[in-house]
Amino acid sequence: MQLDVSVRKKQGAFQFAAEFSLTGRRIGLFGPSGSGKSTLMHLMAGLLKPDSGHIRLDDTVLFDSAAGINLPPEKRRIGVVFQHAHLFPHMSVRRNLLYGWRRTPEADRHIQPEAIIEVLNLAHLLDRGVNLLSGGERQRIALARTVLTCPRLILMDEPLTGLDEELKFHIIPYLNKVFARFDIPLLFISHSLLEMRLMTEQVLVVGEGKVEKEMATEELAQSAWAAPRQGYVNLLRLGRPQPQGDLWAYPWGEVRLVLTDESDSDENIVELDSREILLFKRHPEATSARNMLPCTVGKIFTVGNRVRVELQCGSQQLIVQIVPESMRELELAAGNEVVAVIKASAFRRLL
Amino acid sequence: MSFLQPSDLDAILLSFKVACTATLLATPLGIGVAYLLVYSRIPGKSILEGIVNLPLVLPPVVIGYLLLVLFGRRGWIGAWLIRFDIQIIFTLTGAIIASAVVGFPLLVRSIRLGMESVDTSSQKAARTLGAGAWDAFFTITLPLSGRAVLAGMTLMFARSLGEFGATIILAGNIPGVTQTIPLAIYEYTSSPGGDRMALSLCLVSILLSFAVLLASGAASKSLDRK
């Protein structure tokens, strides 16, 4: 997807301006609330008219003030999943799902209702009303309803905000499955860095009414470590675990990580705070920690009293945060061999 | 002597005809006006609102007189209609017009409140799902204000059943043609020995109004269940 945006919009005292051009399939719109993320979403969907500028999606001009073009929302073929789902309360789940599909020209209908109902596991809900559904079910239906319009792009506006942690991590795999299977470009709006890292590859950082910069999601995550009190969180992708005594051993690249958490999935994502990793110069004889990984030291950065060390464990990378004294005692330098020691309980399984 | 006179039955039937026709004719118009008041950005919206609400605060007799001026043989509309041989005053049509004008503000007010309470995000969602503005109005906004439309229709129907002042001026009090229940009661009370018969019609009036309320309650419940 190629997106080309240059717009200005004044709403009362709030000024919004955005100018960017990007190519990608999983894009995040990241910024605090009130920064203008939702305004940009409304401008792109055609729910709000820019004062001036242009918006182009692939080879279609959606808005161009100079040429007098302003496609109405129903002609843009941009799907929107709102924060509060906004299901139609007077319709059953089935009618909600088919609302957009029935209005999609037959030539564009390349996604069939049965397929999305299966992927999002909605078959048992079809004949129900929408007023007694759980928050997670509502979001799944809202997404399915949007996917069925076979849009060129889906905008998701803080779809996970307001759901509790457990539900959030229950839904993310569904989202990933949908976007992988139906191959629809995604613009994901959120103020949560973790959600960004789980859902997107690139991010536009929005602040104070403008798009400030564009970067890879991982780059954004790494830049966040320098803020006081915030550490970098490693997100590790692990394979299917095997039981090992009372614990579980998960394949991670060439090595195995021992965790207390169980899983029966082939793909797992766990988080590991960079401050929870201990570094040893030599392999310790015995420790209470269950993971001792020989690593090679990569780049080292120091900001104030925090040192960020990149470690290479075979093909995998791990980021560790320590204090300057430790760095001096360990005589850390790029290319050194160290042992990273991690407790089995330090990992938190997300997906 | 029986409980009701044959002419009473005429009056009851006539009241029903007038109230039903006035309500059914006014409803689409009421929806249109409510839509304009809630969603449009037309200039002079407050003037439109004032005109619609005027019958609510004016004495019905004044409305009747204004309608007479408008629809009389020499009135703006009346003089034009006479060319097509259509007469409004002293006819059933006149009674219907009088009822419709007097009940209209109640109808619009109720529908308007209903439309205002419909979350605009549902309409936005519909638009992004491929529905045009009209499509979204008829499939989302209108059904979601269904209860309010029904409540407005009930109010208007009840108001029409009781309409007196405007009707007697525009349509007169002709038994079998324009004499509705209130007009019949008026005639009984102004003739000697008519008290008992007036009371019978009052009872009918109470029963009718009660039936309307019950029916509207049931209809509103069935809308809820959907």
Written in H, E and C, the secondary structure of B48-81 is HHHHHHHHHHCCHHHHHHHHHHHHCCCCHHHHHH
Q: At what angle do helices B181-189 and B195-225 cross, to 10 degrees?
A: 160
CB B130 within 8 A of CB A104: yes
Q: For residue B1, is pLDDT > 60?
A: no
Mutate to test the interface with A, among B128, B147, B149, B222 (most CBs of A within 10 A): B128
Among candidates A45, A74, A84 on the partner chain, residue whose Cβ is nearest the Cβ of B130? A74
Average pLDDT over residues B69-76: 88
Residues in A closer than 8 angstroms to B121, CB to CB, are 82, 84, 86
- Mean pLDDT taken over chain B: 90
Please tell me the predicted confidence (pLDDT) of residue B225. 57
Helix (H) / strand (E) element for B41: namely: none
A88 and chain B: CB distance < 8 Å anywhere? yes
Q: For residue B22, is pLDDT > 60?
A: yes
A82 and chain B: CB distance < 8 Å anywhere? yes
Please tell me the predicted confidence (pLDDT) of residue A221. 85
pLDDT above 90 covers what percent of chain B? 65
Q: What confidence tier does B44 reach under pLDDT thresholds 50, 70, 90?
A: confident
State the pTM of this model.
0.83
In terms of Cβ atoms closer than 10 Å to its own Cβ (0-12, 13-18, 19+), residue B186 is: middle
Please tell me the predicted confidence (pLDDT) of residue A125. 94
Q: For residue B226, is pLDDT > 60?
A: no
Q: For residue B143, is pLDDT > 60?
A: yes
Please tell me the predicted confidence (pLDDT) of residue A228. 65
- Altogether, the residues listed in chain B come to a count of 226
Residues in B closer than 8 angstroms to A84, CB to CB, are 121
Among candidates A74, A78, A79 on the partner chain, residue whose Cβ is nearest the Cβ of B131? A74
pLDDT above 70 covers what percent of chain B? 98
pLDDT tens across the length of chain A (351 residues) = 899 999 999 988 889 999 999 899 999 999 888 888 889 999 999 999 999 999 999 999 999 999 999 999 999 999 999 988 899 999 999 999 999 999 999 999 999 999 999 999 999 999 999 998 988 899 999 999 999 999 999 999 998 887 888 888 888 888 988 998 999 999 999 988 889 999 999 999 988 888 888 899 988 888 876 666 777 889 999 999 999 999 999 999 899 999 999 888 888 999 999 999 999 988 888 888 899 999 999 999 888 888 999 999 989 999 999 999 999 998 999 999 999 999 999 999 888
Pairing of strands A153-157, A78-81: parallel
- CB-facing half-sphere around the CA of B23: CA atoms within 13 A: 22
Q: Do B129 and A103 touch (CB under 8 A)?
A: yes
Q: What is the pLDDT of residues B91-111, one digit of tens each?
A: 999 999 999 999 999 999 999
Please tell me the predicted confidence (pLDDT) of residue A43. 94
Please tell me the predicted confidence (pLDDT) of residue A286. 84
Please tell me the predicted confidence (pLDDT) of residue B41. 86
- Chain A nearest-CA residue for B124: A47
By three-state DSSP, how is residue A16 classified?
strand
